[in-house]
């Protein structure tokens, strides 16, 4: 039994999800004629209380389209220094949008309104005009950390006062909603745009959705085409997302519980150092003493458990839909014997 804790992107569609995909009515989505894509977009927009949505092939593309549509070349974007849009999207902010980033050192990937306020450039010909603030919730490199909603509201006020747009990389927003008992509509009210992933905790094989106002999504649809993301009978993929909303969203709390059980087992070990608080489905912890992160990952691999050493001192484990209770028990037992 292989237990793959490298990422929640490794989930494979269940037989029921595949069946839903096979049964999906489809059409040419570039012509706006795929009924299943249209349904996914409508359901998602309505869930967030926003006007419109756009199905995208990946979270990266959804974020990059949002950034492109919110900015002009030469603008500056404020985000946390470890945010996905900045460090894991191939330099896309510069490549696609011709913008530069003012990275902020946050706490577990989360930034504050006060920090944003301090980094907004004044009106000055020497400075790049600040155009956009991009938040990530949950924060991947922050170990699945969630924002306090009050702080998000404060950041929104700062954005409004300074005419900045506010984007949310919500690849794992679902996990935050479950952990903090929040609703999509709360987020839809605050953000100009939100990208959500179907292919992480929700277990769909492909796809993300970008949500915003009608005008914005019309523009985003055009940029998606330019970026090569206009898909044809994409309803087969969208159907997986619709299935996931109905059947997999309710299972996220289980992943969070599994993460806590594994954390408890790890913290009993003297070779485990500082662990980031476990709020959702991600564990990030230091490994020292007789293991390094690499040798720890290699040892686990020999025992059929896959994890990722994400820095010279840290290892990451991610819980997801394909990790059963029995697998968690196995991981806890293996850790106990290390
Ligand atoms: C926080 C965050 N945003 C965006 C993405 C990008 O998603 P995709 O892999 O679908 O491009 C990821 C991927 O892991 C992520 O963790």
Which phi and psi (to 5°) does residue 255 adopt? -60, -40
pLDDT for 251 equals 97
CA-nearest residue for atom 14, ligand 1, is 9
Do residues 30 and 232 make contact, with C-beta atoms less than 8 angstroms apart? yes
pLDDT for 303 equals 97
Per-residue HEC secondary structure of 247-294 comes to HCHHHHHHHHHHHHHHHHHHHCCCCEEEECCCCCCEEEEEECCCCCHH
CB atoms under 10 Å from CB of 330, counted, come to: 17
pLDDT for 130 equals 98
Compute mean pLDDT per 10 residues along the chain, 338 residues long, and list them.
97 98 98 98 98 98 98 98 98 98 98 98 97 98 98 98 98 98 98 98 98 98 98 98 98 98 97 98 96 97 98 97 98 97
For ligand 1, whether the C-beta of 60 sits within 6 Å is: yes
Do residues 66 and 213 make contact, with C-beta atoms less than 8 angstroms apart? no
pLDDT for 139 equals 98
Indicate which atom in ligand 1 lies nearest the CA of residue 7.
Answer: 14
CA-nearest residue for atom 4, ligand 1, is 59
Distance 41 CA to ligand 1 centre (A): 19
Ligand 1 mutation target, pool 84, 110, 173, most atoms within 8 A of CB: 84
pLDDT for 271 equals 97
Here the tokens at position 239 are 């159907």
pLDDT for 57 equals 98
Do residues 315 and 307 make contact, with C-beta atoms less than 8 angstroms apart? yes
Distance 89 CA to ligand 1 centre (A): 8
Indicate which atom in ligand 1 lies nearest the CA of residue 208.
Answer: 10
Burial class (CB in 10 A: 0-12, 13-18, 19+), 10: middle
Sign of CA dihedral 131, 109, 46, 61: positive
Distance 60 CA to ligand 1 centre (A): 6
Which phi and psi (to 5°) does residue 161 adopt? -60, -25
For ligand 1, whether the C-beta of 158 sits within 6 Å is: no
Distance 67 CA to ligand 1 centre (A): 15
Distances in Å between the Cα of 83 and the Cα atoms of 106, 132, 143, 156, 337 are 10, 14, 12, 18, 35
pLDDT for 219 equals 98
pLDDT for 203 equals 98
């Amino acid at each position: 039994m292989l237990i793959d804790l490298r990422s929640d992107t490794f989930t494979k569609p269940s037989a029921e999800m595949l069946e839903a995909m096979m049964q999906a009515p489809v059409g040419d989505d570039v012509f706006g004629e795929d009924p299943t894509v249209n349904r996914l977009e409508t359901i998602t927009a309505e869930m967030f209380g926003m006007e419109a949505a756009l199905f995208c092939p990946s979270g990266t593309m959804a974020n990059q389209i949002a950034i492109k549509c919110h900015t002009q070349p030469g603008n500056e974007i404020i985000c946390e220094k470890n945010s996905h849009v900045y460090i894991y999207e191939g330099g896309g902010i510069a490549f696609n949008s011709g913008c530069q980033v003012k990275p902020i050192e946050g706490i577990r990937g989360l930034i504050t309104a006060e920090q944003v306020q301090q980094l907004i450039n004044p009106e000055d010909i020497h400075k790049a005009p600040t155009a956009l603030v991009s938040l990530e919730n949950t924060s991947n490199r922050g170990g699945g950390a969630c924002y306090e909603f009050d702080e998000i509201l404060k950041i929104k006020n700062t954005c409004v006062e300074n005419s900045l747009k506010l984007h949310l990389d919500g690849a794992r927003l679902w996990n935050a909603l479950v952990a903090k008992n929040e609703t999509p509509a709360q987020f839809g009210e605050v953000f100009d745009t939100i990208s959500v992933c179907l292919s992480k905790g929700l277990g769909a094989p492909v796809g993300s959705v970008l949500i915003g106002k009608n005008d914005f999504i019309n523009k985003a649809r055009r940029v998606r085409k330019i970026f090569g993301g206009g898909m044809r009978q994409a309803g087969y993929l969208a159907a997986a997302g619709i299935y996931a909303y109905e059947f997999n969203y309710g299972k996220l709390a289980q992943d969070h519980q599994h993460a806590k059980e594994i954390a408890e087992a790890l913290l009993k070990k003297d070779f485990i150092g500082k662990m980031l608080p476990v709020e959702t489905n991600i564990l990030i912890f230091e490994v020292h003493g007789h293991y390094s992160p690499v040798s720890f990952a290699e040892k686990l691999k020999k025992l059929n458990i896959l994890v990722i050493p994400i820095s010279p001192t840290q290892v990451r484990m991610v819980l997801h839909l394909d990790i059963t209770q029995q697998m968690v028990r196995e991981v806890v037992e293996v850790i106990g014997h290390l």
